[in-house]
Structures are given as structure tokens and as C-alpha cells.
Amino acid sequence: MAGLTTAEVTERIVRGQVNDVPARSSRSTAEIVRANVFTRFNAIIGALFAVIVVVGPLRDGLFGLVVVANTGIGILQELRAKRALDALALIGQARPVVRRDGVRVTVPISQIVLDDLIEIGTGDKCVVDGTVTQADGLEIDESLLTGEPDPVPKQPGDAVLSGSFVVAGSGAFVATKVGRHAYAAQLAEEASRFTLVHSELRSGISRILKYVTWMMVPVAVALIVSQLYLQHHDWPEGVRRMVGGIVPMVPEGLILLTSVAFAIGVIRLGRRRCLVQELPAIEGLARVDIVCLDKTGTLTQGGMRVSDLVTFDRASSTHPAQALACLAAADPRPNASLQAILDAYGTSEHNGWRCTAVLPFSSTRKYSAAVLDSPDGARGTWLLGAPDVLLPAGDPHLATADTLAAQGLRVLLLATSGNDLNHPTLTQHANPVALVVLDQRLRSDAAATLRYFADQGVAAKVISGDSAVSVAAIAARLHLPHAEHPIDARRLPTEPDRLARTVEETTVFGRVTPRQKRDMVAALQARGHTVAMTGDGVNDVLALKDADIGVAMGTGSDATRAVAQIVLLDNDFAVLPAVVAEGRRVIGNITRVANLFLTKTVYSVLLGLLVVIWRVPYPFLPRHSTLLSALTIGLPAFFLALAPNTERARPHFVRTVMRFALPSGLIAGTATFATYLIARHHYGAAGLGAATSAATLTLFLISLWVLAIIARPYTRWRATLVVAMAVSFMAVLAAPWLQHFFALKLVGFPIPWTAAGVAVVAAAALELVWKHSRRTPTSRPSPPA
């Protein structure tokens, strides 16, 4: 079939019969702006800022300008990440092959039109619905749509569903439904969409913010009543004190900094040609404790070469090479092994050899087959596949194959069979003809990458469809621990608990089927592990989809790239440590700054309650809260959120943060209120400003000490950051115009020193809290190697 003509394609485009499903890799600009601007806390801060604009003075509304600046920074950073991600997604996008005007052409998915004739082969994703017109051993996996694990053989006239993928054979189909009319047309979009949800970090922050809202609302109401009615302030002063109490309760910058940290991570990884299709994947890979590696294309380079052809005595020395050339040439989409055979024997003289029927290679059955007519007129069935699958146990030829495989070589058996291709006992009584020996080249960076994972406490499991002996030899050359005890997956237990124990205790697995890969991932997850899976072939798709983090190679099949969260566009396995490091930077730094924000929220809520209980004026004006937040939280948090951080990610984000933030906030609030009461008693009712200044000094010193704790371990720039914030506050106290602007002036000798003394006692208590929070175990032990 010649496919559509150019005129017919143009006609369908005019009619709108185009596959116009938007394959976006990121949120739209409007969504980014909306997500950063229209937040619950921005609404609260905006309303309070409007109140201050009405009652004045405007310097008490500085917090509103800070929120505007922070939101603007968040939007700009996420837009930068969007541009980087969209550019990478365009490079990694699948481009189906269609026939138009009798010529094979590749087109973007969005340019497929109704009635296009689309060619498909092993590893290709079916991007629209259609009807099969040509099938050559075509088998399609529809498990991602229907949940049925077995591949479905397809013949001309059968339906093809978008979202399925080819596991064996090749063929063509006519597009019958395109765009939003196609079944599961959203699958590819949703599988590769840049998203900000479904991560422990973000869900933990959402939980924290929900708790904060519950605490904030009743305290804020009580504070309003206290300042306006119980304290009998005039209306403007009461409103200012009320706003000064509510604003610090809002951790408005926490979500912003999380988005910025993730966005910067996307940009940094993009420079390494790493496409992050789901944003939380950066965080997810940092939490991984087991990484399952496919050998071919991950530990070894994708290409192979035939290093030897071991023929057996009863075979002619010329027939094996000619049969191999004919077998390889019969597959329109050869895999790496067949391509190596084509490179070696494709130009061999095989005139007179003809292929009349083909059974394509399948990773489930581990072999391919074809009916070949030889030059002498003889017709026979030829097999090419795994020796230990095609030969019975104990066959003497297996010893030769195992000896070669033990050297890290891939070994295929060429054999003949007296049965037809469709015969149920096709492989029984196979007659060995020759062993094809393929040399697999190790990736130069594989050993260093495996060492990195070992150093970080991440157990590596090599799971391959190749011979267990061959895989073990490759793993041993890479110095992977316990590689000398491989397991043939055909002997794996099927009971989930026993399977999980076996997979936990073993490093190398061979002859693994696609379904077994999926079961092994599920068994590990059931034992509480966070599992990453790497792969590039169609046999990896199901495991990639089910793993916590799926990592696909850029030259892998369309199906693997579609379901993976991370795509290494340059097939550079050595990029994975950078992804792990980036995730740890994000998690570690957001945990740091969350401690700062939530300590402020806790002490603000406590101060509000204490003010209501003691029936005293709220100690701070909004400008005081803005100054304290800027110097001890806002400015330092931006630097800390984007700084290098190699700490291993710990689970239970909320528990980890609140273990320090809750007692720290209670200490800070209690100490500050104690200083405020002492100062009020010393200065009298008329000394509200002096009491506020003393309380501000205590709270700043305590908050600065919290910052000093969070900034550990110290580097030169972190120490400089803490010192700079201290110097900035001293400048405010020393400069008369800043004293006036922020309404701060320390009066007399005893109270300022009392404020400092209270802060020292509180700092000592903070040190005890910090040591306790670090000593309490929060992470599970490393998995066994």
C-alpha cells in the first residue's frame, strides 16, 4: 500500500482530522502563573496588605512587597524550567513512520492524519487507533490499557488501540481514530507530563500547611478580638498589631522555594541532556534504595559485534553463515543481536536462500524462527535464540555455550527443527548447528556509577533476559558485589514473600521474562523498598511503568521512553549519580528551609495565644515581623534552598521537620514573650515601644541561632551568610533612620542585656533539641546488598 497522497493529507488537515492531542511536557504559562499567584496564603497576605494600605503607614506593609517579589521569582524560575524541559521533550519525542505517496517518512505524532498508513515494529508505540493492514508475526501488548499481561497476536483486519506497544514482529495499520477521539489518547501525554504532584516532599508540605491553617484561623480570630476589644486600641493601632500577629503565622515562601528548587533541578539536569518527564522523579530517585539495571544498553553499550561462529561437526562451514544472513535480513526491525549478525554476514554470498515465513524474536520466548529455502531446494525451519532455552538440560553443547558465556560473551544457538513455526513443540528436538558468539562492550562509566550507588547505600540488581552466567560475568567485570552467585529466573519462586527475599539477597538474575521483571519490582516494593528500574527495550516497559522511578535510554524504544519518568537522551548511564545528587539537594535543602519557616509559624501561633491569655498588646508591628522574617528566614532560605547538599534523603518529611521545628518554635515563642513581660514590667504601660524592641532583640537572636543550627555543617559561604544577617540587624539598631523606620530603639542597660541573656538560655535549649532530633532514627536501614 502506498498510503495517502500529499493532497489527501492536506484535505484532512483542512477538515481538522489531525492527531491534535497536545503532547505537553510541562504546565502552560497560564498554569504556572496561576499556581504561583492564586494560592491560599497569597490571598491571606494580599488581604492583610490591603488592610495596611488603608490604615497605614505603608512601611508596615513591606510584607506584601516581599510576597510579590517572591512570587515573581518563582514564576520566572519555573518558566525557565519549562523552556528547558520543552526543548528536551521535543528532542526525545517519538516520530512514527508513515507511508505517503508511496514513500516512508517520519512525522511528529501531532501531524498524523485520519487514514494515514503507519508502520510499526518491535518497541514502537501505537499512537492512534487503527486497523491492521499488514502483519508479519505482529504481537501487541495492551496491558497498559486492559491490564491483560499476555501479548495479543494481530492479523490484517484486527483493531489496534492507542497506548499499546509492539513486543514482536512488524506490520502496518491505517489510522481510524485520531486526536481526542482515539482510545486512551491521553496515555502518552499523561505518562510524560511534567507535574508537581505525587511526591512525599510536596504532599508533606501540603499536610503541614493544612495543620497551619487549622491553627492559624482560631488564633487569628482571638487575636483580632483581643487587640480591638480587650486592649481598647484605637482602630488603626489595633489593626496594625493584629496584622503583625497574623502575618508571621503564614509560611508563604515554603511552597515557592520548593517549586524554585525543583525548577532549578530541571534546568541543571537539562544541561546534562537528562529529560525529567515528571518533576518529582528528581526527588524520587534520591529516595531510591534499590536500582534494578538491565544489562544491555545500560551496563553494556547498545551495539555488539560477532566475535566467533562455533560450528559443529555435522554442519557445513558455509551453511550457518548463509542461514544467519537470511534470518537477520528477514527482520525489518532487527534488534542489537540481529544487527550484529547483519553487519557480519549481511553481505555474505547467500544467493538462492529465501525466507518464506518468520516468527519474530520475543523476549518472552527468547528465540526467533524462520522457514528458509536453501539453494539445493531443501526447506527447513531454523531457530536462533538462547541455547539453554532451545536445548534440553544436559545437552553437551550447553557446556560449550556456558564456557563462552562465563567470559561475559552473549551466545546464541543456531539450530534446525523438523516442526512447523506454529507447532506447539517447535523447539523440541532442535538440532544444533552453530553457536554465534557476540562481544558486548562495557560502558566506560558503568563501574564508577555502580561504585557511586554502593557508596550511597543503594543496592544494585542486574536483571537481564540473557544467560545468568553471561550476566554474572559482566557484573563481575564491573566489580559488583556478590555477582558470583547469579540466579536463573526460571528457578525463581512464585510466592511473593519468598520471591522478595530471594530478590533482596541476590544481585544478578538471568533469563528474566518481562512479567518476571514486573513481579520482582512489585515484590521489592511490597517489602518497603523504593525501586528504580532502568532499561531501553520493549521487555522493560512493564517494569519501568510499575517501578517508583523508571529511567529509559534516549535510543530506547518509543514505549520505554513514554512510560519512564526520566530519559537519558544521550544514553549516558553516568548521568544517574547527578540525578540522585540533584534530588538529594532538593530534599535536603527544602527540609532545611522548612525548619526555618515552620519554627516561625509555631512561635507566631504561640505568641498569639499568649497575648490573648495574658490580655496584653501584641508585641510586634508588621514591620518588625517583616524585618525578622527577611533576615532570619527569607533571604537565608533562598541561598540554602539552592545550595549544594549531598545528605542522603530521609523518609517521613513531616515527622523529620516537626521534630525540630515544633520544640524550637515553642522555645522561641516562650522566651520572647518572657522578655516582653519583663520589659513591660520594667518600662511600664507607656513603654510599649521599648518593650517591643527588647522582645524583637530576643526573637532575632533566637531565630539567628535557629538559622545557625540549620546552616550546619558550616562552609565558608554558610558562615558568611549567618554573620551577614547578624551584621544587618546590628546596622538597623545602629542607624538612626533605620531605627525610626522600623520603630526599634533599645532603651537603658539592664533590659537589652536581659533580652540577650534570655536568648542565650533559649539557644542552649535549642542545641539540646537539635541533638535529640538528629539522634532519633528517622530512616530505615540500608537494604542488604
Q: Which residues are catalytic?
A: 294
151 contacts 364 by C-beta, under 8 angstroms: yes
Strand partners, 474: none
| Nearest residue to 591 (alpha-carbon basis) of 646, 644, 530, 641 | 641
Residue written as grid cell 501531524: 111
* Cα distance between the two ends of the chain: 55
Residue 247 DSSP code: G
Taking CA atoms, 348 is separated from 212, 313, 321, 325, in Å, by 75, 21, 7, 7
DSSP per residue over 560-602, as a string? HHHH-SEEETT--GGGHHHHHHHHHHHHHHHHHHHHHHHHHHH
Amino acid at 680: R
CA distance 454 to 449: 9
Residue with cell 515601644: 689
Phi-psi region of 87 (alpha: psi -120 to 50; beta: other; left: phi over 0): alpha
Residue 319 contacts residue 326 (beta carbons within 8 Å): no
Which candidate, 555, 551, 532, 558, places its Cα nearest to that of 23? 558
Q: How far apart are CA 688 and CA 691, in angstroms?
A: 5
**Beta strands 274-276; 566-568: pairing state:** antiparallel
For 284-328, the three-class secondary structure string (H helix, E strand, C coil) is HHHHCCEEEECCECCCEEEEEEEEEEEECCCCCCCHHHHHHHHHH
Contact 413, 401 (CB under 8 A): yes
Mention every residue, 6+ apart, whose C-beta is less than 8 A from residue 700. 628, 631, 632, 729
Q: Are 78 and 33 in contact (CB under 8 A)?
A: no
Please give the order of strands across the beta sheet that includes 300-311.
300-311, 431-442, 410-417, 379-385, 367-373, 354-362
Cis-peptide into 713, omega within 30 deg = yes
Q: What is the dihedral of CA 443, 445, 449, 451, to 10 degrees?
A: 100
CB 9 within 8 A of CB 100: yes
Dihedral over alpha carbons 348, 350, 356, 357 (to 10 degrees): -30
Say which amino acid occupies 421. Answer: L
Q: Are strands 431-442 and 410-417 parallel, antiparallel or unpaired?
A: antiparallel
Angle at 679 (CA atoms; ends 675, 685), nearest 5 degrees: 135
Across the strands, what pairs with 435? 310, 413
Nearest to 564 by CA among 543, 588, 593, 587: 543
**What count of Cα atoms within 13 Å lies in the side-chain half-sphere of residue 528?**
7
Strand order in the sheet with 531-535: 274-276, 566-568, 549-553, 531-535, 290-293, 459-463, 508-510, 487-488
- Give the side-chain half-sphere CA count within 13 A for 435: 24
CA 632 – CA 606 distance, rounded (Å): 18
Check the CA dihedral 82-83-86-87 and report its sign. Answer: negative
Kindly state the DSSP code that residue 699 receives in the 8-state scheme.
Answer: H
DSSP helix, strand, coil percent of the chain (3-state; round to 5): 55, 15, 30
